Each structure stands twice: as C-alpha cells, then as structure tokens.
Amino acid sequence: MTAHRSLRLLRGAPAETAVRAARLVSRLASEAVLWIGDETPPGSGLAPVAPKRVGGLLGRSFDAVVLDLHARVDADLLGQAQGFVWGGGALIVRAPPAGAPWPPSPALCLPPFTLDDVGTRFATRVETALSAAAADPADDGVPLAPTSHAPTGTPEQAALVETLAAALASETPSISVVLADRGRGKSAALGLALQALIGAGRRAPRVVVTAGTPDAAAEVLRFAGSAAGAESPFVPLTTLLGPEEALPPLDVLVVDEAASLPVPALQRLVQRHPRARMAFATTTRGYEGTGRGFVLRFLAWARAQARPVFEHALSTPIRWAAGDPLETHLLAMLALDAGPAEIDATRGPVDAAATRYVELDRDVLASDERLLREVFGLLVHAHYRTTPGDLHRALDAPNLSLHALLWGEHVVAAALMAREGGLPPDLCLAMTAGRTRVRGHALADTLVTHGGHPEAGGLSMARSVRIATHPGLRRLGLARRLVECIHAALDSRVDLLGTVFGATPELLAFRRALGYRLVRVGVSRGTRTGEPAAVMVRAVTPAAHRLVDALQADLARALPTQLALQSRDELVLDDALVAALVSGSPVSPAPAPPTTADVDAAVAAYLGGPAPCEGSAWALGPWVRARADALRALPAPERALISARLLEHRSWAAAASEAGYPGVPAAMRALRPALRALAASAASAARPDVTGPGSAP
C-alpha cells in the first residue's frame, strides 16, 4: 500500500541544516538517499550529487531527497526533487533562517543588469508554499524510517496494460497514446504490455523501444523483461529515422517520454513505419516540460492519419498515494497545473478590437494568483516545453516583461518579451571572432556571432520570447492585435524588434504580415521543435533598417546553397516550408552579383569566426575552386574533407567517412583549420621568391 510523502523544511545556516538533514537520513541506506548539493554531507558517508547532474537520475526513486536552497531557489530542481521521492518518504529542503531574505538567483543576472536588479518574487512564492506544506517541525528531529519499495499496480494500470497488449498484438497498424502525470506508471504499463505480447506464444514480432536517451527508456525495458532482450534492443531515434535499408521492417514500436522529442521527428517516425503498431507515452504536467506540444501538434496530426489512434490516460499515482500533499503543493507552487481562463460566454463573442492591452506589473502578478495562473496557463498550454524555471524567469528576470490582452478581467493573449542589445563595441568584436558569447541575448548574439555583423550588438532590441492566445479563441486576430500593441508600446524604446522560432509556413506568414523580415535560417533543426530556427526582425530606426537590408542581402546569397547542404544531411524540409523560407529571402532591389571582394570578405569572416560553414558555403565553394593548385598540395584528409563538403556538397557523414575522420563532429571541427591551411598554402605559393634570380644580394 503506497503512502503520502512529507516535506521537511530545515531553516538555519547551511552548516546547521546539513547536520540536521544528515541526522534525519541516518537510518536509511546510502543508496536510498539522494543528497543534492556541492558539499559532502557531514559524517554520513553519503556522496553528494551536483545539481547539474540530477537530470541524469530521472526514473529513479529514493526514500529521502535532500535539497539545498541556501544559495538560490532553483525551480526546475525543486520540481525534479519531489518526483524522486517514494510514497512514505520525504523531501528535505534546507533553507535560510526564518525571516531571512532568500537570495536572488545569479542565473537571472544578465548583462547589463546586476544581481540587485533580479527579483525575489518567486522565492517569496516558494517560501509561502513550503511553509504551508511542511510537516510539524517537531518531526525534524526524528530520523526517517525506510519506506516500502514495492508499490502495487492499480486496476487502472492493469486495464491499460491489457488494452495496450491487445493493440500491439493485432495485425492492424495503430497508434496508442498514453498521457499521464509523473508517477502514474505509464512506463511500467508500456513494458508490461510488451512482456504480455512476447509471452503470448505467437510469432515473435520485431519490437523496438526508443526515447530521447537510453536512460529515458530504462523503465520500459525493465518491466518488459524478456521483451527487451537481444532481439528487441533500445534503438536511438536517429537510427529509426536513418536510411531505410539500415533497419528491418518493424512490427511494434514503443516511444517513451515522447514530448521530449521533436514533433516533426515523431511524424516522420509514423510515416517511416506504416505497418507498425505504435505506442507513445508522455508526461503531461512534469518538471521537465508539460508535454503540451505533443498533445497540440503531434496528437492532433495523428488523429488525421489513416491509422486508428487510441488515446488513454492514467490518473491514479502508483509510487505514492492519491491526493499526495507534496505533489499537490508543489504542482500549485510551480503553476504546472495552471490553464487558460474560463471565458464567460454570456458576455458575447470576444472582439479582438475591444480587448484591453496591458504591460503587466510583476509585483501585481505575483500577488494575484488568478491573474498569474491565467497568464502562465496560456504559456503552458501553447508552448512545447514550459518548465518551472520559466515561471521563475517570468517573475524575476530583469530583462523580461509580460504583455497581455484582457477581455473583461480575463487574459486572452499573453507575450513574454526580452530586452537585448546595447552591447559595447569591443564585446561585439570579440563575439564576431568567436572569443566569447553573451548569455540572455539570443537575438543580438545570433546577429553578431552567426550573422557576422558586430554593429548589430550595439542596437537596442526587444525579442519576442513567447506569444500565446487562448486555445478557444484562435483565429480571431488576438495575436496580431497583441503584437501591434507591443509595437506601439516599445517602438520608442528600441532600434528593432525580433524573434527566433522554429520555422513553419504559418508563423513566417504571421510575422511577415506584421512587418518582420527574415534575416537568418538556422543550419540545424531545433532539439525541441524539430524545425530550423528562423530569425525575423522589424526595424524601427534608420540604423536598424540599414542592418536589416545587409542581413537580407546576406541571406539571399546564402540560402540556396545552405538548403542544398541541409538536404544532403537528411535535414529535408517539406516543400511548403522551403517555399515560405525562399519567398522571404529576396530583397528589393536584388543584391548585385557577388564580387571577388564579397567572396573574400565572407571567407575571411568564416575563417576568423564561430559561424557554421553552411551560411558561408556560397562563398567558400568558389574560393576553394580558385585555389585548386593549393588544394591539391594539402594532406589527403584535409583535401578530401574540403572537396566532399564544399565542392561536391556531400553530407557531413559522407565527408567524414571520405576523409577518414572518426565522425561528424570531428569533421566539423576540422573544416575551418583545413581551410586556414589552404589559405596559407595559397598565399605562400603566390608570394614572390625573394631568393631567386634577380633578387638583391
């Protein structure tokens, strides 16, 4: 029988709370305790786990988790920590003394701001929630007892296992989807369904399990038992999406934590294996992300496919008891159970023109729980991966501002904006040369570092981080009205506005209609969206207009070759997206054909900077051809690498193999030095021989 979990809140100086926490876990086996922190627990024999390594332990459970919050409040770590605790166990939080201020988070201190500019609204929220959830302080002196590690499955889970096993055993291709909060046993259900499938005595199907990492699939494989043997290993997603001849046809494919994978990759997975029975599971409200992108995009897409889709949910927890107070308090504190406002239909249809625009005061937002949950609920509902840390940043990061449209008193659209730019010239030159990067200035960084325009960093910018409209009020013009209101509010404060997002034809068209111009396309797919990053900007001042003209001219030259190289790397974009990208790259008037000076400048920028080669490939190819003799003089590996990638437009994998490099990353690292060697060789060959005939004695 599973039990509730408890929260022990230990207040005091760091050394004092460490001693008290060590006393609380003194009766527990060392492997049953997760001590998160950078210092060694006093006299306990426990090995601390650094906060940055905690994510690698997902899927494991402990009798007690000790979390140090003296130095800073880490929202994501708080969410992760509670998910590790067995029913009957405890989350032990070490905190500053009662009444002492919680320190602001250094992670939110971005240039040009100082630590004094970082808010403590989220820390106040944490303080209030932890105090309400904490057990009786008298219990803090009583060591914890070991908990039961044998949670029993629920009737709900058993019914799901039977249903999944039947679907996976059928000869009819299908897609089964399991949605659940953490701790509900969805991974175990997938594994038990595979075990039942293999044990049914039928012809052994070809079964494959995949996830974002092998660790993320560990629970499925553990419960699958013999179904996870040599005939059915974990297979990385990249292999499943690789050349078709490299993988036999599949009968059954199971994907765990599907929300952690790009939606387009999941779509290609379904299309690549049309005869397979598939099962996808994901966490809907978790500390690593909400899974909303999976529900909004992949599941909606799957329902429109010919293959039948069976949707399932698990609501009863297995590792702890239903109604667990620790889960309840922390879920509310982190607002991951927030949702969009319920709009009163009696007011009549929502009219975008009649909504009220506000730039939200974050002190007011922090004190108004309804308003906060409506704003954050929109962001949770609309974005692929909203984490607890996003709430912390929204409340306290000094470079961020929140903007909203209100219908009556309810939020129907919201946007998060970031202040960027205004960087000193010497810093921008160092960024262009690849000697440094600037955290928290994503738009300025890409225009300087990847775009090769150091003057961009000095401009003041506002970047749209996220924008969301009420899911029941889409296509009413709310997003357009909100952006236009933001323009009116910010145009007098900035040189340009911009945004970086996973490119889709719809989003490109939306921003273009609002005056934004496409100035850069990423050379790889986003790890979350599965789509290339698009950088779009709207100039306000004359200096910004000049910059945008130059950036668009650069893109017009670079994009055809860049897209060709991406297609060789199997980063094939659908025709609609390619058309949307290409239609935005021409400039008026069209840039003049590149001169030798243009080519030399682009090559010099690549050789002296950090940008990937694809954006400069339009110039690198002709530049290499003009140095054919020097190329032939290079050592074989460098010569083969340059020829394969830049002259023959082979994939990175093919170029690495041709040149004898151990893999794609090694080949990528080697290309720039190889081209520098080519430049030096060509320059040496062109230099006059000062020791030859006719030279001075």
CATH number at 607-686? 1.10.10
Q: Measured between alpha carbons, how far is 74 from 90 in angstroms, rounded to an integer? A: 18
> What is the DSSP-derived secondary structure letter of residue 59?
T
Q: Where are the beta strands (DSSP E) in 147-213?
A: 174-180, 207-210
CA distances (Å), origin 161, targets 191, 215, 220, 655: 9, 22, 12, 46
CB 333 within 8 A of CB 463: no
**What average pLDDT score do residues 331-347 get?**
81
CA dihedral 297, 300, 303, 306 (to 10 degrees): -50
Structure tokens of 242? Answer: 């690789």
**What average pLDDT score do residues 204-208 get?**
78
- Binned at pLDDT 50, 70 and 90, residue 695 comes out as very low
SS3 513: helix
The predicted-structure confidence for 398-448, as pLDDT tens digits, reads as follows 999 999 999 999 999 999 999 999 999 999 999 999 999 999 999 999 999
**What average pLDDT score do residues 332-353 get?**
83
**What average pLDDT score do residues 671-680 get?**
96
Judged against a pLDDT cut of 50, whether residue 395 lies above it is answered with yes
Structure tokens of 515? Answer: 């005056």
- DSSP state string for 380-429: HHHSS---HHHHHHHHH-TTEEEEEEEETTEEEEEEEEEEEE---HHHHH
- Name residue, tokens 């000697």: 435
Q: How far is CA 434 from the centre of its chain?
A: 23
The predicted-structure confidence for 136-183, as pLDDT tens digits, reads as follows 776 777 899 998 777 678 889 999 999 999 999 998 999 999 988 877
Per domain, the residue ranges of the chain are 6-141, 155-314, 345-583, 607-686
Judged against a pLDDT cut of 70, whether residue 231 lies above it is answered with no
Structure tokens of 335? Answer: 């607002």
Structure tokens of 177? Answer: 């989807």
- Name residue, tokens 């605790």: 85
Phi then psi for 148, rounded to 5 degrees? Answer: -75, 130
Half-sphere exposure of 166 (CA within 13 A, CB side): 7
- Binned at pLDDT 50, 70 and 90, residue 458 comes out as very high
> What's the confidence (pLDDT) of residue 686?
75
- Name residue, tokens 């038992």: 225
Q: Measured between alpha carbons, how far is 241 from 561 in angstroms, rounded to an integer? A: 24
Domain 6-141, CATH class in plain words: alpha beta
Judged against a pLDDT cut of 90, whether residue 94 lies above it is answered with yes
Structure tokens of 205? Answer: 């199907």
> What is the DSSP-derived secondary structure letter of residue 49?
B
Q: Measured between alpha carbons, how far is 433 from 426 in angstroms, rounded to an integer? A: 11
CATH number at 345-583? 3.40.630.30
- Binned at pLDDT 50, 70 and 90, residue 83 comes out as confident
> What is the DSSP-derived secondary structure letter of residue 50?
-
Q: Measured between alpha carbons, how far is 588 from 287 in angstroms, rounded to an integer? A: 47
Please count the residues of the chain: 697
Q: Measured between alpha carbons, how far is 364 from 368 in angstroms, rounded to an integer? A: 6
Q: Measured between alpha carbons, how far is 346 from 74 in angstroms, rounded to an integer? A: 42
Q: Do the first three CATH levels of 6-141 and 155-314 match, i.e. the same topology?
A: yes
> What is the DSSP-derived secondary structure letter of residue 154?
P
- DSSP state string for 282-306: EESSBTTB--HHIIIIIIHHHHTSS
Q: Measured between alpha carbons, how far is 359 from 400 in angstroms, rounded to an integer? A: 11
CA dihedral 327, 331, 336, 342 (to 10 degrees): 110
> What's the confidence (pLDDT) of residue 502?
84
% of residues, the chain, pLDDT over 70:
90
Judged against a pLDDT cut of 70, whether residue 571 lies above it is answered with no
Q: Measured between alpha carbons, how far is 351 from 510 in angstroms, rounded to an integer? A: 19
Which alpha helices (H) appear in 412-534, and where do they start and end? 425-432, 442-445, 478-490, 505-513
CB 498 within 8 A of CB 419: no
> Is domain 155-314 classified as CATH 3.90.780.10?
no
CB 674 within 8 A of CB 634: yes
Q: Measured between alpha carbons, how far is 87 from 83 in angstroms, rounded to an integer? A: 10
What is the separation, in whole angstroms, between the first and last Cα of the chain? 98
If we measure between CA atoms, which residue out of 672, 627, 637, 667 comes closest to residue 651?
Answer: 667
SS3 481: helix
> What's the confidence (pLDDT) of residue 39?
83
Judged against a pLDDT cut of 70, whether residue 310 lies above it is answered with yes
Sign of CA pseudo-dihedral 93, 51, 416, 580? negative
Q: What is the pTM of this model?
A: 0.85
**Is 422 exposed, middle or buried, given 0-12, 13-18 or 19+ CB atoms closer than 10 A?**
middle
Q: Measured between alpha carbons, how far is 150 from 62 in angstroms, rounded to an integer? A: 12
The predicted-structure confidence for 618-639, as pLDDT tens digits, reads as follows 999 999 999 999 999 999 999 9
Beta strands at 460-469 and 400-407: parallel, antiparallel or unpaired: unpaired
> What's the confidence (pLDDT) of residue 531?
73
SS3 692: coil
> What's the confidence (pLDDT) of residue 693?
45
Structure tokens of 149? Answer: 């590690």
